[in-house]
Amino acid sequence: MTAALRPTAGLVPATVRTHVRIPLTFADGYSTVADVFTFFDLVDNREHLLLGLGDWRGALDRGDAPIVRPHSECLTGDVFGSQRCDCGPQLREAVERIAAEGGFLLYLRQEGRGIGLYAKLDAYALQDSGLDTYEANVALGHGEDERDYRVAAQMLLSFGADRIRLLSNNPDKAAQLEEFGIAVDEQIATGVHLSGANARYLLAKRDHTSHTIDLGMIA
């Protein structure tokens, strides 16, 4: 299948390992069913997931560019509902939006922008002394953002999805996916999930890395 694909900077599409259907119900009662896939051959050897939501097969069969959100794992936000970031509401929004149109949620095991869970919590401690989310990562000896999206491209390419509509406010996700052989036909902004506890975090994302987040009322 690789012959028909775009150049992928040497990336080999991942191979599907397991497919299971999992009914999902969120805390607010919204429910849907996900086709969850695991893979062989992911370049970082981590256990990333692809969730096919809604009529994703139809989107591929019609040759449509499916809607895709790469979501980076956030234990505190996704599982415990932490208000220090907007990951939980972003995930919840993405699942419903993707399920409505048919597409993929990529659940990427990149806690703390790739630095890991403990280091993320260390960074929170530094943020409590005044650093922003990016400065804190650097103070710990990490990059501001260590995520790379090669595994996201590998999972998409395994389904022949080399054209997508990207549900993200992050320009780096679009740039990296293009670099790894995924054409981003459209970038769709996510909603703004502002709370008292995450306002500084969202401002840093907007001002430091050009995320498209409309925070006009608190800027």
Instruction: Mark the segment that binds Zn ion (CB under 5 A) among 77-85, 109-117, 173-181, 206-214.
Output: 77-85
The yes-or-no answer on residue 55 being catalytic is no
Beta strands in 73-120 (DSSP E): 103-108
Candidates 67, 68, 87, 108: give the one binding Zn ion (CB under 5 A).
Answer: 87
Q: Is residue 200 among the annotated active site residues?
A: no
Structure letter (DSSP) for residue 84:
S
DSSP designation for 217:
T
Contact 136, 37 (CB under 8 A): no
Residue 123 sits at φ, ψ, to 5 deg, of -65, -35
* Distance (Å, whole) CA 66 – CA 165: 6
Q: Which stretch binds Zn ion (CB under 5 A): 16-24, 80-88, 131-139, 194-202?
A: 80-88
Q: Which is nearer to Zn ion, 154 or 169 (CB)?
A: 169
Asked if 112 contacts 120 with a C-beta cutoff of 8 angstroms, the reply is: yes
Cα four-point dihedral sign 169, 74, 183, 159: negative
Nearest approach, Cβ of residue 25 and Zn ion (Å): 21
Binding mask 34-73 for Zn ion (x = CB under 5 A): ----------------------------------------
Residue number, 74 or 166, with CB nearest to Zn ion: 74
Work out which of 34, 67, 68, 74 binds Zn ion, going by CB under 5 A: 74
Q: What is the DSSP letter of 102?
A: -
According to DSSP, residue 75 is labeled I
Asked if 77 touches Zn ion (CB under 5 A), the answer is yes
Pairing of strands 103-108, 67-72: parallel
Q: Is 157 in the site for Zn ion (CB under 5 A)?
A: no
Query: How near is the Cβ of 71 to Zn ion at its closest, in Å?
Result: 10
Query: Which residue's structure tokens are 């995930």?
Result: 91
Using CB under 5 A as the binding rule, whether residue 85 contacts Zn ion is answered as yes
Give catalytic residues, as residue numbers: 145, 147
Binding residues for Zn ion, rule: CB under 5 A, are 74, 77, 85, 87
